[in-house]
Amino acid sequence: MTAEPTYRGFALDAETALALLQWQSELGADEPCLDAPLDRYAMPERAEAPAPAPAPAPAAAKPPAEAEDLVARATAMAAAATSLAELAQAQEDFDGIELKKGARNFCFCDGNPAARVMIIGEAPGEEEDRQGRPFVGRAGQLLDQMFAAIGLSRQAVDAERALYITNVLTWRPPGNRRPEPAEIAMMLPFLARHVELAQPQFLVLMGNTPCIAALNQQGILKLRGTWTTAFGLPALPMAHPAYLLRTPLAKREAWADLLSLAARLDG
């Protein structure tokens, strides 16, 4: 008979183990370390500190000239697109971004392109990568509930009630890590053209990454709730639903932000 696995003294069934793993993955953990925490303060001091290892170059880092060249190429490809379908094709074809090699699916948009409200998120996660559509995992389910509370839905045919959804990055970063500045810079021309072609009336910037991309600002907890201008349109920064899942108390402020959007739509 095999012993029941345990975690910190608790019996660990398969379902709980999977939930724990998913939770850690959502927090950004992408490699196993140790079974138990290691108290380095309690360890004997080393006689001689080893020389610090040189910092590894980030995987996506490119020499500045090459990176600039890629941004110029992305800009030209985006500008040449005259419809959303052409833009999606151009963005999918763009080979300058390393993330493309590790992702399963291209994740361009979801919802109704005629919507008055366009939501811009960060990047596909695991479920989005699997389905090739933005915001279809747990955070996406919360996003749907939030916007349903003010009468908006990505399934709505009527533009008044509809939502259109995209992300700054269209390919999943490994282990759901944060997008790097070079990746944001390369995708920005596509995002700007996406907004231009979709012509929404209002933008919602979901979390820090779209604020970095569209406003060149970060600090979503300060930015949220204050209307600003992005890509020439009225834009509302809001806390990301993944943050709201971890911080339920912040849902009160998110509700205030949704009411502010509803008031703009009515006004």
d(CA 196, CA 182): 22
Region from 21-29, 61-69, 124-132, 247-255 binding ligand URA, contact rule CB under 6 A: 124-132
Site membership for ligand URA, residue 257 (CB under 6 A)? no
Site membership for ligand URA, residue 111 (CB under 6 A)? no
Site membership for ligand URA, residue 173 (CB under 6 A)? no
> Which burial class, exposed, middle or buried, applies to 53 when counting CB atoms under 10 A from its CB (0-12, 13-18, 19+)?
exposed
Among 87, 103, 113, 122, binds ligand URA (CB under 6 A): 122
Site membership for ligand URA, residue 139 (CB under 6 A)? yes
Region from 11-19, 28-36, 40-48, 116-124 binding ligand URA, contact rule CB under 6 A: 116-124
d(CA 2, CA 227): 59
What 8-state DSSP symbol labels residue 151? T
Compute the least distance from the CB of residue 139 to ligand URA, in Å.
5
Region from 30-38, 61-69, 136-144, 180-188 binding ligand URA, contact rule CB under 6 A: 136-144
Which residue minimizes CB distance to ligand URA? 121
d(CA 66, CA 74): 12
Among 134, 189, 200, 237, binds ligand URA (CB under 6 A): 134
Q: Please enumerate in sequence order all residues whose Cβ is within 8 A of that of 108, keeping only pairs 6 or more positions apart, or say none.
A: 88, 91, 92, 132, 166, 170
**Amino acid code (one letter) for 245:** L
Site membership for ligand URA, residue 179 (CB under 6 A)? no
Compute the least distance from the CB of residue 204 to ligand URA, in Å.
11
Among 96, 121, 179, 200, binds ligand URA (CB under 6 A): 121
Nearer to ligand URA, 44 or 248 (CB): 248
Site membership for ligand URA, residue 119 (CB under 6 A)? no
For residue 93, give both structure tokens: 């074809």
Query: What radius of gyration, in Å, describes the C-alpha atoms of the chain?
Result: 21
Phi then psi for 26, rounded to 5 degrees? -65, -30
Helices assigned H by DSSP within 103-240: 126-131, 138-148, 181-198, 208-215, 220-223
Residues that bind ligand URA (CB under 6 A): 121-125, 128, 134-135, 137, 139-140, 167, 206, 242
